[in-house]
Structure 1
Amino acid sequence: MAEEKKDQKHESFINPIDPDKITENPHSLPYAHTVGGAVIKPEDRGKIKGRAMAAMYEQTDMHLGQIREQIELLARQAKNIQHRVQISEEIYRAELNFEPIIAKVYYLYRRSNGKSVVSMVSPPEWGKNPPFQFIATVQLLSDHTWEVLEIVDDIYTPE
């Protein structure tokens, strides 16, 4: 008889929760399944992609800017080397009445007839009326090119 009463109690129990509103796997729900659960909001995937694209463009623009600066630096260095070669060529075509010594400073001048002259005399040492037009102050390097220490830009035009 006691068993009959237990069976009646189990049969008479009706679950008040609608079976359509519960799940056996609450961890797979796309929303919180309890009152105290974390708020889960669906993300706007377009917004996420938009932010990611903006960050990507910012980074690539920064890297391209760095590469652009490096290219400009290399271009300036190449121009300086070409300039050194041009000056070196002009000096080696110039009148040179002595053997230049490595690491010494010399002066490149141009005569009135257009021919170049290398001298050990600096422009101030000539006084008020120098016999030649000053072009550049140069120093002989160990590779036998000339480093330009000072140049009169508006006068120098390579031959």
Structure 2
Amino acid sequence: MQLLLQILMIGAGATLVMDLWAMLRLRLFGVPSLNYAMVGRWLLWMPKGRFTHNPIASAEPQHGEILIGWLAHYAIGIAFAGLLLPFAGAEWFTEPSAGPAVALGLVTVAAPFFLLQPALGMGVAASRAPRPWRTRAHSLVTHAVFGLGLYISALVGKGKGIGLH
């Protein structure tokens, strides 16, 4: 139960760090983040049998898409934190280190490249985006920041006494 609580807190914390990075990136560089309402729209179309869109913005809006998108965003961050267990081992949760966390963050960029971006109509690894390489670079940096957020959240949690003993 302790490990599940750590995964929950580390995943939510890392996702928050990623969101803070997105806000800073928008403010400093004018680069917007993914609109999580579009993720919610995509998810809400799935039970209706539609799994891909070209583009998602042209699909009919769905009731609750903003909430569903944000909930999915944090749930995915928590699920990715759970991958630390097989990726880095249970000992990582008692002695967290940046290397495995950032490496896992970079590995998770496969999800937007090969699942989300194609499903939302952007093509594999944003190949249909107006500036594919810029979009890819932002995805890589954002997922590296998520990985750093995993590490930071683990350290904060350890300081709060939620580490495994």
Give yes or no for TM over 0.5.
Answer: no
The structure carrying a bigger strand percent of its residues is: 1
Q: TM-score, normalised by structure 1?
A: 0.26
